Amino acid sequence: MVLYDVAELPELIGKLENIVFMRPNKFEELESLPPLPLSLVEVNIADCMTTETVSDLSELENLEELNMVNCEKAGDVPGLQSLKSLRRLYLTGCH
């Protein structure tokens, strides 16, 4: 299933337990990223140019890759310094 023009993800997404990859890069209208499932290994919101806020990522202990390329409106990424498993970080084109 492919969704387009989604402005926000439901807060309940953080309750999902078995999600490993999150790639909503087709959500060009995504304004904010709510608290995410703790099981995530990869988050790719590249080219989500309307994303302004990102929830605190500090509890994502398994997160290895974060891609926010061309998230022009995104500012601070709370919890970034706490990601001990992070191996790849892409922030080109961000505010």
Res. 1 pLDDT band, cuts 50 70 90: very low
Q: What is the pTM of this model?
A: 0.80
Q: Is the pLDDT of residue 2 over 50?
A: no
Work out the number of other CB atoms within 10 angstroms of the CB of residue 79: 15
pLDDT, tens digit, 9 for 90 and up, residues 24-72: 656 677 788 889 999 999 998 888 888 898 999 999 999 999 999 988 8
pLDDT at 3: 45
